[in-house]
Amino acid sequence: MQINKKQFETLFQLYWKRMFLFTVKTVADEEDAKEIVQEVFKSLWERSNNLELADAERYLLRSVKLKSLEYLRNKGNKIRHHKVILHNKTPYYEDNNFQYKELKNQLNTVVESLPNQCKNVFKMSREEGLTNKEIAGNLLITERAVEYHISKALSIIRLRLSESLNI
């Protein structure tokens, strides 16, 4: 049977309470149970033009049972993920954050020790995001000179960081 609005309302009135009580017993939370029952009816309404139902009661009760089990499975997965994150996240994050800050400080120290023109070109390129042409125009030098200074800066940075990191 295809479902029209009146039939849908009749099905809702006949079965929502039974579906809700089953779901509350299964998921142990009234708000979540309401949402699950609502999802089942929403799905029924959205599919009402294409759905052929021989036994609406069986369909609705089976749907709410499957949705409840899906909810419990997802809730269990969420709880497990939260436990993993709580147990693992803080040290991992703090280690990475510390390593990042340390590397950033070393990089800043190396950049600050570069010759002035080399340092200015590198900062304009990497920190300000300017193109080689824009840097050349700002500093009144050629684009080739900009390329030279960036290349020189990168070579010095690689060398000094590899020395300090023992690479």
Per-residue pLDDT of the chain (167 residues; tens, 9 = 90+): 567 889 889 989 999 999 999 999 989 889 999 999 999 999 888 888 877 778 888 989 999 999 998 888 888 877 877 777 676 655 555 666 778 888 889 999 999 999 999 999 999 999 889 999 999 999 999 999 999 999 999 999 999 888 877 75
**CA distances (Å), origin 37, targets 10, 67, 91, 104:** 15, 8, 41, 53
**Distance separating alpha carbons of residues 52 and 66, to the nearest angstrom:** 19
Query: What is the DSSP code (8-state) at residue 49?
Result: T
pTM given for the model: 0.48
Res 91: pLDDT:
55
Q: Report residue 24 as tokens.
A: 């509350």
Contact 32, 71 (CB under 8 A): yes
> Residue 31 burial (CB < 10 Å; 0-12/13-18/19+)?
exposed
**What domains appear along the chain, each with residue ranges and CATH number?**
5-84 (1.10.1740), 113-164 (1.10.10.10)
Residue 20: per-residue pLDDT: 94
pLDDT value for 55: 87
